[in-house]
Chains A and B, each alone.
Chain A
Amino acid sequence: MDLFNNLALGFATATSLENLFFCLIGVLLGTLIGVLPGIGATATIAMLLPITFQLEPVSSLIMLAGIYYGAQYGGSTTAILINMPGESSSAVTAIDGYQMARKGRAGAALAIAAIGSFFAGTVSTFLVAIFAPPLTQIALQFGAAEYFSLMVVGLVSSIALAHGSIVKALAMVALGLLLGLVGTDIYTGTPRFTLGIREYADGLNFVAVAVGVFGIAEILRNLENEKTRSVLMAKVSELMPSREDFKAMVGPVLRGTAIGSILGILPGGGAILAAFASYTVEKKVSKHPEEFGHGAVAGVAGPESANNAGAQTSFIPLLTLGIPANPVMALMIGAMIIQGIVPGPNVATEQPALFWGIIASMWIGNLMLVILNLPLIGLWVKLLTIPYYVLFPIIMAFCSIGVYSVNSNVYDLYAVAFFGLIGYALLKLRCEPAPLLLGFVLGPLLEENLRRAMILSRGDPATFVTRPISAALLFLAALVLVIVFLPSVKKKREVVFQEED
C-alpha cells in the first residue's frame, strides 16, 4: 500500500529528534497564544514566521502548523475556564463549556474538549493523507486557465465566509489583489506602484502586511478601552469524564468530525463555520435541547471536534493546490515561498518527505497537545493574569525584530506601521482583513495565470469556459456568489455572524 509507505516516510521524518522538538515548541507557543486573548493565531504566525527561516523547510512548516492547532486548543481552554474564547473558533465552546465549569465540572469539560479534538484530529489527518495524493494528480493537469479559475473560487468563497457586508468583502479582495501587484512586473520588468521607492521593487513584504493588518490593528483595538481582566477561575478537579459523559459525547464527536472535515476544505475560514454548524446540528438532534446553554456535554464535544477537524483539513487545498484556505494558510504559503518551495501539486512528488512529514506531524502535534495540555492548565491560567499593557510592548519589539530579519529591509518596518494604520482603519470601517490578505497572496499568481492563459488562447477569453475543469470551477464561483446574494441566505448569514460577535 502506497498510503502506508508514505505515512511511514512521514512518521520517520516527523519523529526525528529535531522535528519533534520544533513540533513541541510550535504547539506550546500556539497554546500560549491561544490562551492570551487579543492576539490571534494569524498575528502570531506572522510574528514568528521570521524565526523559522533559519530552520530546515520541514521543521519550520511543522512548527508553524503546530502553532496553528495549538492555538485552537488554547482558545478552548480559556473559553471553558473563564468564558473568554482566545480564538474566534472556540466562541461556541464557551457557551456550554463555561456552564459546565460553573457547575464544578471544568475538568470534565476540558477533558471532553481535548479528547474530542484529538479524535477529530486523528480522523482528519488520515483524510488528508488519503485525499491529498489523488487531488494532486488532478491538479497536475491544471493549466493556467484552471489555476486562474480555481483562485477565483478561493477568493469568492473567502467573500462568502467573511463577516458583514459582501460588497465590502469584494472591495477588500480587489484592494488586496492590487497591493499584491506592487513591485516589478514579471513580463516587462516595469516597476509598478512602488512610488519610486527602490526597496519595494520586490513587492511589499508579505510578513509586514500580515503583521500590520492583523497584529498591530488588533493591538490598537485593544487599546481603545482598556479593561482589567478579571479572572474568576473555576477550580479544575476530576479531569476524568464520567461514563455518562463518554456515552453523551460519542455521537457529537463523530458528527462534529464529519462536519468539520468537509467545511474545513472550504476556503475562507472553515474551522469557525464548522464549530457553529456542529453546535446547531447537535441542538437539533439532541433529545434534550433545553440542556444547551446550561452545560450540555454535546455542546462542548461537537464544536470542539468540528473546529479541530476543520483546522486539519484546511491543509488539503494548501498541500495539493498551493491555494490557501484561510489567512493562516496564506502565511504558510508565504513561509514555503521564502524557503524556496513552490506551493502546489508538485510538492507531493518532488518533496515527499516534506509533504508526508507535515501530515504525520499533525497527528503527533495533536497527541502532544492532549498529553501536555491537561497537566499544564494551571500554568496557562496564570498567564491570563498578565496585564495587557505589559504584553504589547513585547509584541511590538518581536514584530519589529521579526519583520526586519526577513530580508534586512528597513522599508518593511515602515510598511508595518503603514499597514497597521490601514488595518485599524479597516477595522473601524467594519471591513474584514481576511479577504484582503488572501487577495494579497493570490494577486501576483492570479495575474500571471490570467496573462499566460490569454497568451495561450491568443487573446480569446472563451478559453476559461471552453476548458471543462475551468468552466466547472467558474460555475462554482458564480454559484457561490449568487447564493450569498440571495435575500434569504443573506439574512441567515447576518444572524450567524451576529451570534458569533
Chain B
Amino acid sequence: MNSLKFDTANLICGLLLIATGLFFAYQSFELELGTAFRMGPGYFPFILACALILFGAIILIQSMRVDGGPIGALALRGMVFILPAPIFFGLTVRGLGFVPSIFVTALIASFASGRMKPLTALVLSAALTVFSVAVFSYGLGLPFRRFGPWLGY
C-alpha cells in the first residue's frame, strides 16, 4: 500500500467536503423533505448535500492519481492574531464601548506580523482609534456607544 501516493491538498479537500456534505445531509433529513411537487424545507438542501458528497468523493479519488504539489507554509502566527480580532470586537463592543474595543482589536491584529514593533503597534492603534471615532462615530453618525457599561458609563 505504500506505493500509493496521495496529493495532500486534494485528500484533505475531499474529506472535508464529504464531512460537510454529511453534516448538511443529516441536518436536512431532520427537516421535512416533502415531495417534488411541494418541496419541504429539507428537499433542496438534501439534494445539494448529496451533490457535495459526490464531488468530495471524486476529489478524493483524484487525490490518488494527481500530485498537485505541497500545501506550503501556513500562516500560523497570522491565524492566531488575525482571526481573534473581529471576535474580540464582537465580544466587547457593547460592554467596553467602541473606543476601547476598536483600540484593542487593532492592537491584537498588529501582532500578526513579526515585523511590527510594540511601540509602532501602540501608536498605529491609537491613531486608528482616533480616526475611526472621528469618521464612523461623529462623521457618519453610526449608533455606537463610545464607552460602555463595563467601564461605568
User: A residues near B, CB below 8 A?
Assistant: 51, 54, 165, 167-168, 170-171, 174-175, 177-178, 181, 185, 187-188, 190, 192-193, 216, 219-221, 223-226, 387-390, 392-394, 396-401, 403-405, 408, 410-414, 416-417, 420-421, 424-425, 428-431, 446-447, 450-451, 454-455, 458-459, 461
User: Within 8 Å CB of A430, what residues of B?
Assistant: 9, 13, 68
User: Within 8 Å CB of B68, what residues of A?
Assistant: 430
Q: In B109-153, which residues have CB < 8 Å from any A CB?
A: 109-110, 112-116, 120-121, 124-125, 128, 132, 136, 140-143
Kindly name the residue among B28, B89, B112 whose own CB sees the greatest number of chain A CB atoms within 10 A.
B89
Closest to A416 in B: B86
**Are B114 and A414 in contact, with the CB atoms below 8 A?**
no
Complex Cα gap A382–B112 (Å): 24
**Are B20 and A226 in contact, with the CB atoms below 8 A?**
no
User: Within 8 Å CB of B91, what residues of A?
Assistant: 410
Q: In B13-27, which residues have CB < 8 Å from any A CB?
A: 13, 16-17, 20, 24, 27
- List 10 A-B residue pairs with CB atoms under 8 Å apart, sorted by A's residue number: A54-B142, A178-B24, A178-B48, A181-B45, A188-B41, A192-B41, A394-B128, A397-B102, A450-B44, A455-B38
Known: A404-B93, A459-B35. A226 touches B85 (CB 8 A): no
Complex Cα gap A387–B107 (Å): 17
Distance in Å: Cβ of B92 to nearest Cβ of chain A: 9
**Are A411 and B17 in contact, with the CB atoms below 8 A?**
no
User: Within 8 Å CB of A421, what residues of B?
Assistant: 79, 83
Distance in Å: Cβ of B38 to nearest Cβ of chain A: 7
The verdict on B31 contacting chain A, using a C-beta distance below 8 Å, is yes
**Are B59 and A171 in contact, with the CB atoms below 8 A?**
yes
Q: In B74-93, which residues have CB < 8 Å from any A CB?
A: 74-75, 77-79, 82-87, 89-91, 93
Majority secondary structure of chain A interface residues (helix, strand, loop or mixed): helix
User: B residues near A, CB below 8 A?
Assistant: 9-10, 12-13, 16-17, 20, 24, 27-28, 31-32, 35-45, 48-49, 51-52, 55-56, 58-59, 62, 68, 71-75, 77-79, 82-87, 89-91, 93-94, 102, 105-107, 109-110, 112-116, 120-121, 124-125, 128, 132, 136, 140-143
Complex Cα gap A397–B110 (Å): 10
Q: Which 6 A-B pairs have the closest CB atoms?
A: A459-B37, A413-B90, A223-B78, A389-B113, A185-B41, A171-B55
Distance in Å: Cβ of A95 to nearest Cβ of chain B: 25
Distance in Å: Cβ of A62 to nearest Cβ of chain B: 17
Distance in Å: Cβ of A439 to nearest Cβ of chain B: 9
**Are A410 and B24 in contact, with the CB atoms below 8 A?**
no
**Are B73 and A225 in contact, with the CB atoms below 8 A?**
yes
Q: With A220-B75, A429-B10 given, name 5 new contacts (CB 8 A).
A: A192-B42, A220-B82, A393-B106, A400-B102, A451-B39
**Are B84 and A392 in contact, with the CB atoms below 8 A?**
no
Contact of A397 among B72, B128, B143 (CB under 8 A): B128
**Are A429 and B78 in contact, with the CB atoms below 8 A?**
no
**Are B75 and A221 in contact, with the CB atoms below 8 A?**
yes
**Are A417 and B86 in contact, with the CB atoms below 8 A?**
yes
Contact of A428 among B9, B32, B113, B132 (CB under 8 A): B9
